[in-house]
Amino acid sequence: MIQTYISLGSNQGDTLYNLDWAKSRVLEMEGVHPGKSSVVYFTEPQGVKEQSWFANQVISVFVDAEPNPGELLKELLRIEDSMGRVRTERFGPRIMDLDLLLFGNMEIETRDLVLPHPRMHQRAFILVPLMDIDPVLSLPSGQRLEDFLARLDYSVSGNKIWQD
């Protein structure tokens, strides 16, 4: 089984319900088994600032040899679509955003998929909950997540994350 990490984010509708619903759909997928889940953090939007804060969470799952990362990504996109995700504005509001962060130690770069996720090392809203699950986690290259987090200008208070 391959340990895989997925981030979930929502800033439209009932964000906590959206996270729970998406997480349950992920765990219903064939060949996907539950791992740990971070707490939910509320984070200010990155990029487009004039929108509601996000509810963010990271989950780990264990994946059988099938599905492969590309198939898993397609299933995550189907979940987003089934929840009404509309892709009109990059970094804009969304009912659900599911990002495949890590798929074991795989390093992949295709037109549709880059692993590890290409911007995760720049985002406290991913790194903080990811380190809740696995505080000593490193990228396949050996780079430690805590080192990336140390370079970011961010703060955490309770379950809220701010990042400049």
DSSP states of the chain as a string?
-EEEEEEEEE-SSSHHHHHHHHHHHHHHSTTEEEEEEPPPEEE--SS--SSPPEEEEEEEEEE-S-S-HHHHHHHHHHHHHHTT----STT---S-EEEEEEETT--EE-SS-EES-TTGGG-HHHHHHHHHH-TT-B-TTS-BHHHHHHTS-EEEETTEEEE-
Instruction: State the chain's mean pLDDT as an integer.
Output: 92
pLDDT of amino acid 13: 94
Mean pLDDT of the 6-12 span: 96
Name residue 82's amino acid: S
pLDDT value at 46 more than 70: yes
pLDDT of amino acid 152: 95
Active site residues: 85, 94, 97, 99
pLDDT of amino acid 49: 77
pLDDT value at 88 more than 80: no
Tell me the percentage of the chain whose pLDDT exceeds 90: 80
pLDDT value at 89 more than 70: no
pLDDT band at residue 94, thresholds of 50, 70 and 90? confident
User: Max CA-CA distance within the chain?
Assistant: 41
**Domains within the chain, CATH numbers bracketed:** 2-163 (3.30.70.560)
pLDDT value at 60 more than 70: yes
